[in-house]
A and B are shown apart, each in its own frame.
Chain A
Amino acid sequence: MTTDTDTNSSGGPASDGGATPRPGKNRTRKHDAREPGGDPGVRRPAITGRRLTMWAAGLAGVLLLVLLPLLNISLPGMLPGPSYTPGSLQLLAMCMLMAAAALTYHLLLGVAGLLSFGHALYFGAGVYGLAVILQNMDIPLLPAMGLTLLIVIVLAHVVGSISLRVSGIPFAMVTLAFAQAGSVIVGRNPDGRTGGDEGLTLRTDNLPDFLVGVVNTRNLYWLALAVLVAVFVIVTWVQSSRAGHAAAAVRENELRVRVLGLQPYLVKLLIFVLSAVLVCVIGMVFLLLQSGAVPRAISSDLTITLLVMVVLGGVGSRWGAVIGGVFYTVLDQRLTALANSEAVKSLPDVLRVPLSEPLFILGTLFILVVLFLPGGVTGTAERLAQRRRRGNRRAGNQGAETPRDILEDAA
């Protein structure tokens, strides 16, 4: 599925060679990290081999996930029951949707270097848009989804074109303000249409039968899996496309891109709108899975959750975003279970209060990761692998771009 620019490091036609100081850095950075001094021509076969194994492993993983509802696998401590039960499938589907949402956030932060605090607006627009349309109009699911998508495309263009007038930290503040306006509108419950704090229950009259009811959780599970795979493929494709290269170049050095005659503003807007559209689709599936819309889906907390997932997994890495999304969702669920367990309830107050707040533990974990493991899960795994491979040779890192660099590019 990779495109030609992806396997050919120096041949990126528009932006690659000139605009980026380090040619070929848009391909998976890991390989550069491992063989920093190597000649690109020499290491290409090795990369292709590794890539093939990677994709084969991915394919096998997806196949396993597809078959999971038909199997009886128990993972005590992670899943609430055997893998075919609706409870487990629901949790797994949630993990996959959150991983997909984290991937769209990766597109913003890891690729284009846009630190947005308003990503939840488009997720929430998907959730609430579809819920409100299904509630008030008698149209089938697909046209309703199309209509929601249309609204989000317009919304993302408007908000994106205004907030991209500033960059770095002010961009973060402005996107946050817009998202907050969306959250406030939902909370105000105009004409009783969004349900205010209570949220909205999904009206199922116009939904196809195979998506309704607990019995059909596995259909929703497969839908969530399809969404995750599709988002992963699209994000990979965008990253290896000309627009993706240009976006990464803008992140590195906007002035240089402008001097080359490209338009950073349009590239950033494209990535912004694209990630908004993708996360809107995820939001719509989220609505079907949860069979209801809750105000949290459009709150700034959700954006922060996505940010935490991406950083925990490792900024700039697609797999990192997926791992972060799954890890966070499972951990959140497990910590909530822990908070309600008898073992915690019997502790003295000093220990009980912090332990019974999942967000306290997650927030602290997040701080520790930012302070001590700047590459998140994937970055740390990468460093360990590198250290093992090199033995006692000095670990030079010039060819690779570390997550730290990517983060600072966003400033």
Chain B
Amino acid sequence: MSTVVLLMFTGLGLGALYFLVAAGLSLIYGLMGVLNFAHGAFLTLGAFAGWEIARRAGSDNWGTFLLSLVIGAAAGAAFAAFTEFVLIRRLYQRHIEQVLVTVGLALAAVALFDGIWGTDPVFIQGPAWFKDTTEILGARIPNDRFVCIVAAVMVLLALVFFLKKTRYGMIIRAGVENRSMVTALGIDVRKAFTLVFTIGGAAAGLGGVLASHYFGYVSPMLGGSLLIFAFIVTVIGGLGSLTGAAIAAVAVAVLQQFANFYLGGTGDFVVVLALALVLLFRPTGLLGRTS
């Protein structure tokens, strides 16, 4: 029983990270039709920014940790806004070329991170509480899992609130639904593009800082490895659906953890199998629209 609970929470923690990456990807794809390969680079930059803060201000207190979260999110958001403004905007409505540009950006950015911070993982420490465990139903669960889960739930709630209650949120939702209609009503959707990219980048940057605590290290490859699972999550959840991304993130991560434990480390393989099954029986994903 305690193993099941432990796996459950570890899976939820990992799912939280997947969600933070997938949320931005899914929104960006839903609104703009761009598959953003550079999203992993946003995450990595956020993680390194958080690490730099922790290194300078002393890693062992909560203030630094919270500051590193803010700085990480800001770094991711700034990078994302820059990407949209300088690269994506020039290729408006050319979806494949936008993908190619983000591929090139991911290549260049990861190489640059390699050059600045080295290819080896740098290890990171958080507040001492992170290393402790909390006992739930007999399972001793590392505390950093809870931090990830809480952060992801807060981001999800904030995003839902933003999308449902604010004017820009409504424009974004309408844009996902029918962009040409929104444009026809005289609303400049391009502002929403920059906004969605910035939000996605901020979520990814936040995810980067949390991921560095979850895994215990930062490396230039961090974003790329999470990005692939985030892709799987967005496809399974249904492209453009935030709720779908949340459900799929948890399902994929928990499935992965259980398969890793009970089926001899086959987690990644099982996830790809799940993707194949979803595609066979529901090509639009769990909550995807038929288009």
- Residues of chain A having any CB pair with chain B under 8 Å: 115, 162-163, 165-166, 168-170, 172-174, 176-178, 180-181, 184-185, 188, 300, 304, 307-308, 311, 353-354, 356-360, 362-364, 366-367, 370-371, 374, 404, 407-408, 410-411
Contacts and interface: CB of A to CB of B under 8 A. Distances in A.
Contacts of A165: 279-280, 283
B104 A177 contact: no
A363 B97 contact: no
A88 B87 CA distance: 38
Considering residues B91, B114, B276, which has the most beta carbons from chain A within 10 angstroms of its beta carbon? B276
Given A174-B235, A404-B97, A408-B95, A354 B283 contact: no
Given A163-B279, A364-B104, A408 B111 contact: no
Interface string B96-136: 11011101111111111011100000000000000000000
B112 A353 contact: yes
Contacts of B95: 168-169, 408, 411
Contacts of B87: 367, 371
Nearest to A163: B279
A115 B94 CA distance: 14
B248 to A, nearest CB: 13
B228 A169 contact: no
Given A169-B29, A177-B228, A367-B101, A408 B96 contact: yes
B8 to A, nearest CB: 23
Given A178-B272, A304-B107, A371-B101, A173 B234 contact: yes
Considering residues B100, B116, B235, which has the most beta carbons from chain A within 10 angstroms of its beta carbon? B100
Given A177-B232, A181-B272, A360 B100 contact: no
B259 to A, nearest CB: 12
A119 B110 CA distance: 21
Contacts of B107: 304, 308, 359-360, 362-363, 366
Contacts of B165: none
A162 B115 contact: no
A166 B283 contact: yes
Contacts of A170: 235, 239, 283
A180 B111 CA distance: 20
B76 interface: no
A177 B35 contact: no
B45 to A, nearest CB: 14
Contacts of A185: 269
Given A115-B96, A181-B268, A181-B272, A353 B115 contact: yes
A404 B231 contact: no
Nearest to A374: B97
A408 B94 CA distance: 6
A176 B108 contact: no
B279 A356 contact: no
B90 interface: yes
Q: Which 3 A-B pairs have the closest CB atoms?
A: A363-B108, A363-B107, A359-B111
A311 B98 CA distance: 13
Contacts of B110: 359
Interface string B254-274: 000000000001001100100
A191 to B, nearest CB: 12
B99 A172 contact: yes
A366 B106 CA distance: 11
A168 B94 CA distance: 12
Nearest to B231: A173
Contact of B91 (A300, A354, A371): A371
Contacts of A163: 279
Given A357-B115, A363-B107, A169 B99 contact: yes
Contact of B275 (A172, A174, A300, A363): A174
A363 B104 contact: yes
A173 B108 contact: no
Contacts of B33: 169, 411
A353 B265 CA distance: 38
A278 B94 CA distance: 30
Contacts of A370: 91, 97, 100-101, 104
Considering residues A168, A304, A363, A370, which has the most beta carbons from chain B within 10 angstroms of its beta carbon? A370
24 contacts: A115-B99, A162-B276, A168-B95, A169-B35, A177-B235, A181-B272, A188-B265, A304-B107, A308-B107, A357-B112, A360-B107, A362-B107, A363-B107, A363-B108, A366-B100, A366-B103, A366-B108, A370-B91, A370-B100, A370-B104, A371-B90, A407-B100, A408-B94, A408-B95
A173 B235 contact: yes
Considering residues B33, B111, B116, which has the most beta carbons from chain A within 10 angstroms of its beta carbon? B111
Given A374-B97, A407-B97, A366 B104 contact: yes
